[in-house]
Amino acid sequence: MSAFFSLLRKRKELIPIIGLMTVAASAATCTCIYFLSTKTDIVLNKSGNPTPWENIDPKKPQKLMTVTQKWEPVEELQILKRFTK
């Protein structure tokens, strides 16, 4: 560990790069944890529910940012879903 800090003292241009890489890795980790814990379309264990996509509320946006999303059910799919159950 002391060799790492001595390298940073010798090459000060590495400090911003290491800082940016630390922020980027932390942001990526936090984003993954956020999506795994809050989004219903991401499933880690499919043995409990083999068809998790049928439980998604179509009126609730699943993206991080949604621009002008309007959802209307397709009548043919609703009829087909009733027949398959």
Sequential DSSP letters for 44-75: S--SS-S-GGGG--TTS--SSS-SS------H
pTM value is 0.53
Q: In the prediction, which pLDDT does 46 show?
A: 65
pLDDT tens sequence across 32-64: 998 888 877 677 776 777 777 777 777 776 666
Measured CA to CA in angstroms, residue 45 lies from 34, 48, 63, 69, 84 at distances of 17, 7, 21, 29, 24
CA 83 to chain centre: 33
Residue located via tokens 């043995």: 47
pLDDT tens sequence across 2-43: 898 899 899 999 999 999 999 999 999 999 998 888 877 677
